[in-house]
Amino acid sequence: MKKKDLSALLTLLAVVFFGCGAALLFSKSRREPISRSAFLLNTFVNITLYDSQDEAILDHCVDMCQEYENRFSKTIEGSELYKLNHRSADETTFTVSDDMAAMISEGLHYSEVSHGAYDLTIEPLSSLWNFTSDEHVIPAEDDITAAAERVNWKNVKLDGNTLTFLSPDTTIDLGSIAKGYIADRMKDYLTESGVESAIINLGGNVLCVGERTNHQPFRIGLQKPFADYATVFADLNIDDMSVVSSGVYERHFEKNGVNYHHLLNPKTGYPYQNGLVSVTIVSPRSVDGDVLSTTCFSMGLDKGLELINSMDGIYAYFITDDYKLIYSDGAEAFIDEIKEK
């Protein structure tokens, strides 16, 4: 394990992924990248192609995001997840789609690995708290306790595409999985379409396809904690990998001197207060980065670091609340530049 003290480093990606910045490095004879943005998945998404001028590919990527949102959103009536969570009390077993089975499998795996510090069935709590409202309301303690009692990943069983709920009170939240999974499927589509240089940015979940067209890695900007979105504190060199962060400054509010954020403890029902500000994961698959950033944050510094160091080809950066950077084995190699602020 390696430790470096820094006065505020990487956390939630503010993707200064150099879409335009990287273009400045290209020779004038090369074509400018093309990109498409949209508000989907409850966030701003952006896809940039560096080696293709095919607008139809971008159109299809946006359509893919919309289709997946319609299928996996927990709030859109008629979605596959909405139907699962709003089943009748006597419905226990369902045949789910391949995509749903894959995501639930990921969630159950990390729920088990973390011994429930991360829990796929956090939905009763995540729906109780509202971190987007300007009212900054802390739910009633009795409501939090009641919701927490409904959270238990062991009440979900998956056998192939057969999903079984062992309790009528159990509901699922894919918020820590879906964007990473969707990004991976979009990358599959891009590579099948012949794209070899692109960036998929789903609201800060960044997945690089290949490298820049000048045969250099992409530089991914990492936002300074609690700073303006465009304030970049460090750059990582990323080649054909994903970068995802989870932090206490993403969806949060402060009340009576306490920062309440969206990373909830399934046992207590309240936001984790474990000395961490954020966790950033670099991984080949975005779905791993998505779920692991939440899982490792939930497990805390020591156990989260131990988990990452036990995995091949996956790297992590932990930022403590006194702005110390602690990174996993091999993670230092990705740091291109630290910009003191």
176 among annotated binding-site residues: yes
Q: Give long-range contacts, CB 8 A cutoff, 24+ apart: 154-162.
A: 155/121, 156/104, 156/108, 156/120, 156/121, 158/101, 158/104, 158/105, 158/108, 160/101, 161/95, 161/96, 161/97, 161/98, 161/101, 162/93, 162/94, 162/95, 162/96
- Residue corresponding to tokens 């690089």: 208
H or E segment to which residue 198 belongs:
strand 197-202
| Angle at alpha carbon of residue 258, lines to 253 and 264, rounded to 5° | 65
Alpha-carbon span 151 to 85, nearest angstrom: 13
3-state helix, strand, coil in the chain (%, to 5): 30, 25, 45
Find the radius of gyration of the CA atoms of the chain. Answer: 20
294 among annotated binding-site residues: yes
Alpha-carbon span 337 to 303, nearest angstrom: 28
290 among annotated binding-site residues: yes
Q: Which amino acid makes up residue 142? A: D
Do residues 305 and 297 touch, judged by C-beta distance below 8 A?
no
Q: What is the DSSP letter of 266?
A: T
Residues with Cβ within 8 Å of residue 126, at least 6 apart in sequence:
173, 175, 262, 264
Do residues 297 and 279 touch, judged by C-beta distance below 8 A?
yes
Q: What is the DSSP letter of 7?
A: S
What tokens appear for 223 in the block?
A: 């936002």
Q: Which residues are annotated as a binding site?
A: 176, 290, 294
Binding residue positions for Mg(2+): 176, 290, 294
